[in-house]
Amino acid sequence: MTKPSKRQFIHDSLTIRRPEFMVAEIPIVMIPALLMASNPSHLVRWQFAAAFALIYLTANFGDMINCLADRDLDAVYKTRLSSAVYRLGVGNVRWQLRITCAAVIALSLLLAVGTRHWDLIPLVGVELLWVAQYSVPPLHFKRRGLWQMVTLCAIIFALPMTIVARTLPGYPSWELLLFFVGFGTMQEGIILVNTAEDIPEDQQAGLHTSALVLGLSRSVAVGIAMVAIGGAACAACLTAIGNPSWGLAVFMLSLLWVLWEMVSIWLRVRRQPLTAGMAILRPRARRMPLWITATGLSVLLTAGFVVSHR
């Protein structure tokens, strides 16, 4: 392929970082920060800015390595990702991965020194390794059936939220840690619908994904159960931590909307052959980033009310 222009290079570099998911990263950083900060001034210190950058760069690292590893698989239905990798060049993407990884490690060391929370170093180390092993051998958790769901819940939500909490003074309570797990479970239930979108390609490529193990209809059904259970856990933990006021009502409305959308999909795809089911699912699964953003931002609003009523 011809060498891309500077504008095309920037566009492709952003594409493999999946900017459509970047808004959804805001709650992952802000929710634990709000619930952990005993003083609003903690949110204007350099430690918080560094934690924000660290989480975004870690997410970029995961998205880039996944685009690189799946560049041939994505050539069918996610051509913009595959094309971006090939226009940039495999070697260039690997260099971007190395630079991003080095930046994450440097920020984790800086935060550990600045906060004296030395457990940040192994937490970030586990996060980076786990993120990489989701997409590449030897563990390649994307191919490990139901372990894929556990991995995504941990590396996208629970671990990053724990890392942010540890950059602030104090120790997270058990209620807060359980909230992180509940939040991750809820969001992973939504992601499972997106995973189901790739069942035919994953089957052809020999990927043993969670959606492939469950099948199309059961993937959506399990996703619904995870959203319901995780959402209920979030509401219970936030209530135990403080007074969520009417922010909780906003969250419950967004949760019910997402559940209604997912149940509607399930009612349409159940008992359908795979080809017909995929034709029904794919146009609706494109709303997945919106579902994650809606639930995430409404939980963020609820956390804000918890803080304001302390």
Whether the CB-CB separation of 93 and 64 falls below 8 Å is answered with yes
Whether the CB-CB separation of 197 and 282 falls below 8 Å is answered with yes
Task: Output the pLDDT for position 201.
Answer: 80
Query: What are the structure tokens assigned to 235, written together?
Result: 């509401």
CA gap 216, 204 in Å, rounded = 15
Whether the CB-CB separation of 159 and 126 falls below 8 Å is answered with yes
Task: Output the pLDDT for position 202.
Answer: 82
pLDDT per residue over 254-275, tens digit each?
999 999 999 999 999 998 999 9
Question: What one-character DSSP code corresponds to residue 3?
Answer: P
The domain locations on the chain are 1-169, 173-310
pLDDT per residue over 52-106, tens digit each?
999 999 999 999 999 999 898 888 768 999 999 999 999 999 999 999 999 999 9
Q: Is 287 helix (H, G, I), strand (E, B) or coil?
A: coil
**Nearest to residue 181, comparing CAs of 207, 212, 158?**
158
Whether the CB-CB separation of 224 and 247 falls below 8 Å is answered with no
Asked whether the predicted pLDDT for residue 2 surpasses 80, the reply is no
Mean model confidence pLDDT for the chain: 92
Which phi and psi (to 5°) does residue 117 adopt?
Answer: -100, 85
Q: Check residues 298 and 76 and name the one with the higher pLDDT.
A: 298
Question: What one-character DSSP code corresponds to residue 170?
Answer: S
Asked whether the predicted pLDDT for residue 1 surpasses 60, the reply is no
CATH 1.10.357 fits 1-169, yes or no: yes
- The CATH number of 173-310 is 1.20.120
Whether the CB-CB separation of 42 and 171 falls below 8 Å is answered with no
Given phi > 0 = left and psi -120 to 50 = alpha, else beta, which region is 280?
alpha
Asked whether the predicted pLDDT for residue 50 surpasses 80, the reply is yes
Virtual CA dihedral for 10, 12, 13, 19, nearest 10 degrees? 100
Query: What are the structure tokens assigned to 99, written together?
Result: 């630079």
pLDDT per residue over 175-209, tens digit each?
999 999 999 999 999 999 988 988 888 888 777 89
Task: Output the pLDDT for position 11.
Answer: 94
State CA 233 to chain mean position distance. 18
CA gap 108, 106 in Å, rounded = 5
Q: What is the mean pLDDT of residues 165-171?
A: 93
Q: Max Cα separation, the chain? A: 59
At 269, the amino acid letter reads V
Task: Output the pLDDT for position 310.
Answer: 67
